[in-house]
Structure 1
């Protein structure tokens, strides 16, 4: 490994000869588990993350299909691919997804037939992911375990890798880029005592919202495109190196008017504005405005070819939480949901610029739109289904009726509402 790769300051492998590696990848024609896995790893090192995921997913499919190539048991190969997939997500900045995959690999490696080297890899990679999130105590414990395993095995190169990881541990979490530091300082205060608990967002210094990674980059791109198109958006304070900093808009989300409304104090954040429109009315009016933007102006694609491919990847990689399914889908597995989505796929003849995750949590008081990372051209029912479900579950049937009235739809298509609500189970 040392002849082909070296480690950067974050303990990630990078190729010594990227041009040579690219040529080798271009000439490759994988047709078995080993080939798809190796090519996937090399694509990751070249920064071609989507292609890397495609190849590693194919390797995982071959394992699940029972293909054999003499490279260890099926469970051992599955664990190795989980680690590799975790690396791809971590390298592109999605550390949360990487942690899920690494933890699964660690748990499985502890339970299957003892393979100390495989366990040490799983443990070390999980330790790095935790270090990048600033969870240093957990990271030290895991890296110390990896070091113990590797010393027992006697592999000098792996021992050195873990030693360096322990030395560099205090450099985590990943430093913020200069543009962000100029606004929040070198040691900002992160708070988790706030309403925004989803979407990988952190409240910083009491005045900013921060996201980082490829999802933050996607959201920044869409925010920039939406500006000037009649939609109220939060102010972008800064964006650099896939770190997005939004200025706090000084308003709570419409979700705050949900179940807690009846018990709220008169001046509580969840109290209904005295003379303002209802949640359903605000959401319907705003969505009608968004859906009126000409489709041919939108460069982002959220149609079923794209979303079903994303859903398939999430199912294959085990990233779908079936316990979070709606009540009427609790008896289904993610695989069954995906099969049904494919079998019942509707025509897409009514395309709009869709938000992709349109709920009351993603609209602030004052009709300010949030979390636009999934925005793209899609059937209008992608948004209508999620909004109707959210309003019905967390507000009232009256708010659902107000939503459709404000949107201007008298008789929504129940079949399409059901289909896009089912699709959301896999996201």
Structure 2
């Protein structure tokens, strides 16, 4: 469904973000990623070179970790079969959808693009109640297209716990996830296709500032605790839709614009409880979710990774939509790419690189709500960029040859919108670059010796 201001609920954030010289020891904080083994058998020269190569952010690096939604609530989009060409022209290798439309799944067959498909909200009650329904859905929407269409994940609904139908669907979420996981396992697909869920920041109690103060809403804990247990057991990441834009738009006098736009030179804010310093609002929002997870889970060692399923900034909006401008959208998207390319985590979980999915691929002219809802796209329907993003400039011939009416989902108010992710699978692999550099160093050492 199209996201509403309520579902993208902005959380109260500090009125000021003073610079601070406080420091903290991240080694004492929870980290999901396992430490790298020390390459002590390599010559020190090679170790130094490897560290230098790993430290350099690149377009390929950000392409491996950043994603983007492919939404289709429009009547002027290109047909699905032309979209893989556009994505390939900008090095995209992962796409997330909010449904499992056969025409789209066919369009991505044999492209190597990794898809996240969605179980629509309307299917949750039947899939939750009957394992056979779950098995039938998996056979029809996953097994029938596998492996030609590379499906990596299934998201069960979207913002189920806080959406318009939350009272009817919240109790169906985890049972549906369990039944889908069991269905995949029975077909031998559970190691290739994971089951996950995506949630808005409205699952957090107010206030959730500072991040260390964040907890889940008490009325949702009945659903959240078994949800987290499922994610911890299966290892599937928890997706959250995080929009610094809404925090700024709701309180432009209290939230610094450069803090919301992820500007690198922004003054830092220090969480008084942890001593952690935050240079951007997105990190603070994600760490608020991590703190809520730690507070809700009794077994702190059962970590759940948080990934950003949606984030973006509108390039246009109504007169009363503060900050919805082309310049701000360009700044946010480029700063997000830079942030992801650094391969660093948040201040609370520094060992897990930030992974995010940008909202959205196209401007969608049939989305209801304020004008901003129709202006989140990185591309116009004809495939030309709305603004410039480093590493996302289409190569020659990258236009998608739009045909009005052929690409619309027909979903209208049902909001069958999605998101895609940029992958190194269609660009030069960062690992390939590293190995090439190491090989060159070995050759140099032989010459010197």
Shorter chain as denominator, the TM-score bin is under 0.3
- With structure 2 as the length reference, what TM-score do the two structures score? 0.26
- With structure 1 as the length reference, what TM-score do the two structures score? 0.27
